[in-house]
Structure 1
């Protein structure tokens, strides 16, 4: 399938620019809030309306694409053939509701199973991180360079709080070897930190839409994305994922196996 990368990247940036402006206003409004899998898995009327709008725009532009989306307005995606979009309308809904800060919107694009383009908007900053392996990675229009390949003791780590509290996968040992633990509650915000070297590790249980855009950006900049057992990443299922520098992921994989 022949795709104009520049045109698609500009399309993603345009979409998230519109979404970012809307969500910045919406974050200050009263919200209709519900729960999904648990009391800490929230969904709002703005998650649904944002996703519905994004899916509609993508379908209008790329009629042959399939869309894997969080709130169910996309398609039933059974395989990764062709052009597949992953849509996360509001990443960090708890932050959106409780803090009105540290939340993002994300779109990841895969072509025949391979990372192609990704875009994340940090809504509060109104900054869009976008691009892909054959295009380069950008913060708005500024090109992003690869972060330094730091080791675990050199950097801060972000691990999901339930994982740390329960000490799943020896996560507390990972924290103790690092420079310290940070928890933000939004994969999109953490991917932003990773690509700029502000943190060296992210370990969490992620759904496909949580991971898709960030994986494209991180791998394009030389960071490593791995499952907890170092098996191939399956973009059609939720899984525990480790993202970080080459040195850190290698060290963490040894720690979690102990």
Structure 2
């Protein structure tokens, strides 16, 4: 087994184990806390699941950096060296509402680029895994959709526009419903990206800069499944870029236009 193969195997195992810990708290009487806003919630299940993922990573790669949403993990991906990016429960708002659209996400990164990723959805029974060359769901090869007509596309806005950025959110929604066949709103960025990778969605779009734990694994899945991922400017997406636009690659410019419509409403100067 090569070093990368070991990281793919560990990403899947850690996401599965972390997801199992999270699932033990799903649809139970959990205390829900808020962090930076009314919709930014966290539970003890998030913390326990992240601790389990970190424990497994430390057993095999004790010197690697760990980037994670909860507790004292790093909050930015190092530009050099090996690191792991962890989201113990992506879609916590769905989780606390007892909606099964949430995931445990683990990605291995080398010099800022993902080399392995696993997004596991315990309540749905799905595990999305990508290595250096391909992607699979529950062991079956993944491929983005082959639709070419934007009027047949199902497109999802993703990442969260805060209450001070609802003009951008509204612009994204208007652009999606006017340009494409239909719109979805999943409420879990990693599941949304996984659905693009599987062809269940044709694209997803935001002009918000996503946190690495909300994006890195899913971006790797989309690319390994044959899709295209850029920032709002149309440049190849990397961690820290403005916006995230992922598609099957067949009408990426149309999807990018929706992100730019949202960006045109931005007034925060960032």
- Of 136-145 and 42-51, deviating more is 136-145
Indicate if the aligned counterparts of 2:19 and 2:49 stay in contact, CA closer than 8 A: no
User: What is the aligned counterpart of 1:207 among 205, 211, 218?
Assistant: 211
- Secondary structure, counterpart of 1:116 in structure 2: strand
Deviation at 1:169, TM superposition (A): 8.6
Indicate if the aligned counterparts of 1:109 and 1:115 stay in contact, CA closer than 8 A: yes
User: Which residue pairs with 1:28 in the alignment?
Assistant: 27
- Of 100-109 and 196-205, deviating more is 196-205
Q: Normalised by the size of structure 2, how large is the TM-score?
A: 0.85
Indicate if the aligned counterparts of 2:82 and 2:111 stay in contact, CA closer than 8 A: yes
Deviation at 1:170, TM superposition (A): 4.0
Distance 1:169 1:251 in 2: 17
Indicate if the aligned counterparts of 1:55 and 1:74 stay in contact, CA closer than 8 A: no
Indicate if the aligned counterparts of 2:105 and 2:217 stay in contact, CA closer than 8 A: yes
> Structure 2 vs 1, CA of residues 256 and 90 (structure 1 numbering), >3 Å: closer, same or farther?
closer
- Secondary structure, counterpart of 2:243 in structure 1: strand
> Structure 2 vs 1, CA of residues 62 and 3 (structure 1 numbering), >3 Å: closer, same or farther?
farther
Residue 143 (str. 1) matches residue 141 (str. 2): yes
Residue 216 (str. 1) matches residue 248 (str. 2): no
Residue 243 (str. 1) matches residue 251 (str. 2): no
User: Which residue pairs with 1:182 in the alignment?
Assistant: 184
> Structure 2 vs 1, CA of residues 150 and 22 (structure 1 numbering), >3 Å: closer, same or farther?
farther
- Of 202-211 and 148-157, deviating more is 148-157
Distance 1:118 1:71 in 2: 19
> Structure 2 vs 1, CA of residues 100 and 174 (structure 1 numbering), >3 Å: closer, same or farther?
closer
- Of 117-126 and 87-96, deviating more is 117-126
Residue 62 (str. 1) matches residue 61 (str. 2): yes
RMSD over aligned CA atoms reads 2.4
Residue 72 (str. 1) matches residue 71 (str. 2): yes
> Structure 2 vs 1, CA of residues 229 and 27 (structure 1 numbering), >3 Å: closer, same or farther?
same
Q: How many residues align?
A: 255
Mapping for residues 1-258 of structure 1, pairs under 5 Å: 3-75=2-74, 77=76, 79-134=78-133, 136-160=134-158, 162=161, 166-168=167-169, 170-171=171-172, 172-204=174-206, 205=208, 206-235=210-239, 237=240, 239-257=242-260
- Of 108-117 and 246-255, deviating more is 246-255
Deviation at 1:20, TM superposition (A): 2.6
Distance 1:125 1:76 in 2: 28
Question: Which ranges in structure 1 are unaligned for 5 or more consecutive residues?
Answer: none
Deviation at 1:228, TM superposition (A): 1.1
Distance 1:174 1:152 in 2: 10
- Of 19-28 and 184-193, deviating more is 19-28
